[in-house]
Structure 1
Amino acid sequence: MNDLAPMPNLETPRIAIVGSGAVGCYYGGRLARHGQDVHFLLRSDYEAVKAGGLRVKSCDGDFDLPQVNCHRDTVEIGPCDLVIVAMKTTANEALPALIPPLLGPDTMILTLQNGLGSDDFLAECFGTERVLGGLCFVCINRVGPGVIEHFAQGHISLGEHSGPPQPRTRALAEMMKAAGISCGVEENLLTARWKKLVWNVPFNGLSIAAGNKDTAEILADPTLEQRVRELMREIIETAGKLGHEIPLSLIDSMVERTRSMAGYKPSSLVDFLAGREVELDTIWGEPLHRAQITGIEMPRLRALYDELRVRLG
């Protein structure tokens, strides 16, 4: 696969953002601010962004984009060099219809989605040679139409869907860094996804299951902090059994880093409170399923998954 990976134009690329919520608008906004030709697929926020642009309130410095390339459909955008998928995985069934008008012969598809399985889904639909994954370590929320609030962090880790990094992987990382986005390259995308689950599973899950608590409230409760740590250990140990080595020292570093976020509401809690569908299967169900089919038991994840199913109805 990797010898055949297409190398698109990343000097003056045409970029489409599919999923213009917090993640898509934040990273797409930074690229556009740097002068990249970025086109945003917008639905509910289309009129507001068309009229007033995009506003990012950031711990790294606020910025506004008065003029934004807004589109209601991907046919209007047309072929691009890079397609960034930032929609929730709960809406993935729309991608087989949305993405084809954006594809040229060398178009890359970068998914910034959470959990496990989105890379595989896109590879099945559009070919593994097109697909890369990105892990976003960032605290951001959409707080209004066309308004994004960035609280902390912002790093992206990039990897190829089925192989080691390619020249295009490193070129894409350099393009991100040139736009002021902290970005690195992962040798193994799936290992990186398991590493992100070490944070996402406990904090996104317990924020809902424990009664709508932000990260500060979770860590202020000794019982909940212990549960966070036990879930993290179970995920790391399971990942190791599946061939993805993650150091146990990550537990302490992630917990301490989370303390610095103050009262951050994880994205799943924001979705839950807004009445939107939560990514139950990709964040909690899929790692549980992958463990079970290889005979690995994850009792702590199973318990949290069952609690979430009840809370989510």
Structure 2
Amino acid sequence: MSWTFGSVAVVGAGAIGLYYGARLAAAGNDVRFLLRSDYDAVKRDGIRVESVAGDLHLEEVKAYLTPEEIGPVDLVIVAWKTTSNDLFGKILPPLLHEQTQVLTLQNGLGNCERLAEIVRPDQILGALCFVCLNRLAPGFVSHTAGGRISVGEYANDGRGRAEEIARRFSAAGIPTDAAASLAEAQWKKLVWNVPFNGLAIAEGGVTTDVLLSSPEVEGEIRALMSEVVTAARAQGLALEDSLIDFNIERTRPMGPYRPSSMIDYVEGREVEFDSIWGEPLRRAKAAGVEVPHMERLAERIRVRLGADG
């Protein structure tokens, strides 16, 4: 039996949740936003997006303060930082009915496994967002590059859930594809996230152009990417060496881009250490892969977080 969705709840309305939720709502979908600090501003002014794909001002927003006010929906989009995953048990149940699907747009590994403690595996999807977004003010997002999403099913049940989300998101102006392997897509995203988010912190809070301006640091980026690719292959995932050049060359035109983890670090917020570096490192070791560059980077990040925490 095929699946589709009508109502949508966006949980975690930072840059990712605001941007993709606003795009879906502007296309006429029933999108409900669970907000905290942005609630008053969004109720008053709506959601504003300055975007390379076209500016957007969603004036009327379905904004709520509690999941109970939203009620059960067909699709829950989880867009908060992985550091908030301990709240799954409190936030998700009021949003669920028997066939609700939960789509996590979060970074790193381990998020679907956490969701599986709350809902069935055939209710879980993961997505990787290849996009440059920054939340500049409450309800105000800057979109400077990218925007593509790759969606995969945690447990494929033949209902075409990822394909349907890709179709509906694409119709709303969000370029989206259905990934044949969610795990492969997750590791492909880590090829960028591990070095660029990590070294931006380890080097003291710098932008991607600063990292790439140093031949020594670029060499470290390439070494880290190579270890991520090797770790993925050891788990039976088909990652190609060409991902290294591809990710470096697509980063150069971004200019002084601030990776999301670097922003969290410099602004004193909790960093998504475990999902982006801790869990990938554990899985690499479990697969029998030596990853000395990843180990050193993880230790450098721990030192930075400890010294500035």
TM-score (norm 2): 0.97
Q: Displacement of 1:298 after TM fit?
A: 1.0
Q: Which of 94, 97, 101 is residue 104 of structure 1 equivalent to?
A: 97
User: Deviations 1:94-139 (Å, cap 9, x if unpaired)?
Assistant: 0111011111121110000000000111022211010000000000
Q: Which of 63, 74, 81 is residue 74 of structure 2 equivalent to?
A: 81
**8 A contact 1:84–1:110 mirrored in 2:** yes
Please say if 1:215 is aligned against 2:215. no
Q: Which of 161, 175, 179 is residue 182 of structure 1 equivalent to?
A: 175
User: In the alignment, which residue of structure 1 is the partner of 2:64?
Assistant: 71
User: In the alignment, which residue of structure 2 is the partner of 1:37?
Assistant: 30
TM-score (norm 1): 0.95
User: Deviations 1:115-164 (Å, cap 9, x if unpaired)?
Assistant: 00001110222110100000000000111010001010000000000237
User: In the alignment, which residue of structure 1 is the partner of 2:52?
Assistant: 59
Find the aligned partners of 1:165 and 1:189 in 2 and give their Cα distance.
15
Q: Displacement of 1:253 after TM fit?
A: 0.9
User: In the alignment, which residue of structure 2 is the partner of 1:299?
Assistant: 292
Paired residues, number: 306
Please say if 1:91 is aligned against 2:116. no
User: In the alignment, which residue of structure 2 is the partner of 1:152?
Assistant: 145
- Which secondary structure does the structure 2 equivalent of 1:152 belong to? strand
**8 A contact 1:136–1:157 mirrored in 2:** yes
Q: Displacement of 1:165 after TM fit?
A: 6.5
User: In the alignment, which residue of structure 2 is the partner of 1:124?
Assistant: 117
User: In the alignment, which residue of structure 2 is the partner of 1:115?
Assistant: 108
Matches within 5 A, 1:112-261: 112-163=105-156, 166-261=159-254
Find the aligned partners of 1:219 and 1:263 in 2 and give their Cα distance.
10
Find the aligned partners of 2:152 and 2:138 in 1 and give their Cα distance.
31
**8 A contact 2:153–2:161 mirrored in 1:** no
Q: Which moved more, 1:290-299 or 1:98-107?
A: 290-299
- Which secondary structure does the structure 1 equivalent of 2:98 belong to? strand
Write the letter of the residue equivalent to 1:221: S
Q: Return closer, same or farther for 1:54/1:224 CA change in 2, 3 Å cut-off.
A: same
User: In the alignment, which residue of structure 2 is the partner of 1:308?
Assistant: 301
Contiguous gaps of at least 5 residues in structure 2: none
**8 A contact 2:234–2:287 mirrored in 1:** no
User: Deviations 1:186-225 (Å, cap 9, x if unpaired)?
Assistant: 1110111011000000000001101211111111111111
Find the aligned partners of 2:290 and 2:158 in 1 and give their Cα distance.
32
**8 A contact 1:83–1:107 mirrored in 2:** yes
The alignment yields a C-alpha RMSD, in angstroms, of 1.2
Q: Which of 265, 268, 277 is residue 272 of structure 1 equivalent to?
A: 265
Structure 1 residue ranges, 4+ long, deviating more than 6 angstroms after superposition: none
**8 A contact 2:16–2:79 mirrored in 1:** yes
**8 A contact 1:208–1:308 mirrored in 2:** yes
Find the aligned partners of 1:168 and 1:60 in 2 and give their Cα distance.
26
Q: Return closer, same or farther for 1:165/1:29 CA change in 2, 3 Å cut-off.
A: farther
Q: Which moved more, 1:36-45 or 1:116-125?
A: 116-125
Write the letter of the residue equivalent to 2:305: L
Q: Displacement of 1:241 after TM fit?
A: 0.9
